[in-house]
């Protein structure tokens, strides 16, 4: 079992302070919106380190040709007005954790963060809606086990749900 250091948590907090965003995704079949903690960065090493610390894969996005409306016309330094093909010059690394995983990450890094940017309210909302039981809780259970194995501390409400499930599993196996 790996243990995260205070330096690891401080580093993650700084990245989330600087680049972290929360997205809400309303999807069919979900009672509550899926809350996603994300960091988009052109520094792929940052995205890879976040990935290593949380056990999720980085989603790289290659440079792309900008949409027509994003391009700028050239009339100042060229003799005839025209449009240069414009590219996003850097590959982007997209790191994402959602639901219970986002709450666990926030629970651990909030004490190290300088800004809150509604992160604590988001964490509380996720924790209120996290259910580890049944088929609905399958991905949450997997995220909890993955992060616990990597050394992330679990919020009390998730820790208690996990204990109850483990006791039920032991009774069912006996």
Q: What backbone torsions phi and psi does residue 73 show, to the nearest 5 degrees?
A: -75, 150
Q: Per mean pLDDT, which of 1-10, 16-25, 75-84 is the most reliable?
A: 16-25
Q: How far apart are the first and last CA of the chain?
A: 27
Query: What does the pLDDT look like over 38-96, one tens digit per residue?
Result: 999 989 999 999 999 999 998 776 655 555 544 455 655 666 665 555 555 567 889 99
Query: What does the pLDDT look like over 90-149, one tens digit per residue?
Result: 678 899 999 999 999 999 999 999 998 799 999 999 999 999 988 888 999 999 999 999
- pLDDT confidence of residue 69: 45
Distances (CA, A) of 9 to 16, 23, 80, 125, 144: 10, 22, 54, 22, 17
Size of the chain, expressed as the number of residues it contains: 174
Cα(162)–Cα(56) distance, integer angstroms: 21
Domains of the chain: 6-63+91-173 (3.10.28.10)
SS3 string, 63-111, reads CCECCHHHCCEECCCCCCCEECCCECCCCEEEEEEECHHHHHHHHHHHH
Query: What does the pLDDT look like over 145-163, one tens digit per residue?
Result: 999 999 999 999 999 999 9
Contact 160, 130 (CB under 8 A): no
Q: What is the mean pLDDT of residues 15-41?
A: 90
The answer to whether residue 21 scores a pLDDT higher than 60 is yes
- Order of all β-strands in the sheet with 59-61: 20-25, 34-41, 92-98, 59-61
Going by the DSSP 8-state scheme, the letter that residue 137 receives in this structure is G
The pTM for the full model equals 0.81
């Amino acid at each position: 079992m790996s243990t995260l250091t205070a330096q690891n948590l401080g580093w993650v907090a700084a990245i989330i302070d600087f680049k972290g965003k929360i997205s809400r995704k309303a999807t069919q079949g979900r009672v509550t919106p899926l809350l996603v903690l994300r960091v988009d960065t052109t520094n792929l090493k940052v995205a890879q380190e976040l990935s290593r610390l949380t056990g999720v894969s980085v989603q790289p996005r290659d440079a792309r040709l900008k949409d027509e409306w994003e391009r700028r016309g050239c009339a100042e330094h060229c003799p005839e007005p025209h449009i240069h093909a414009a590219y996003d010059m850097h590959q982007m690394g997209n790191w994402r954790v959602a639901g219970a995983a986002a709450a666990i990450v926030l629970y651990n890094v909030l004490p190290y963060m300088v800004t809150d940017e509604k992160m604590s309210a988001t964490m509380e909302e996720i924790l209120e809606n996290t259910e580890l039981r049944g088929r609905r809780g399958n991905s949450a259970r997997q995220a909890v086990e993955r992060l616990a194995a990597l050394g992330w501390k679990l919020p009390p409400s998730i820790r208690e749900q996990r204990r109850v499930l483990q006791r039920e599993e032991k009774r069912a196996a006996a």
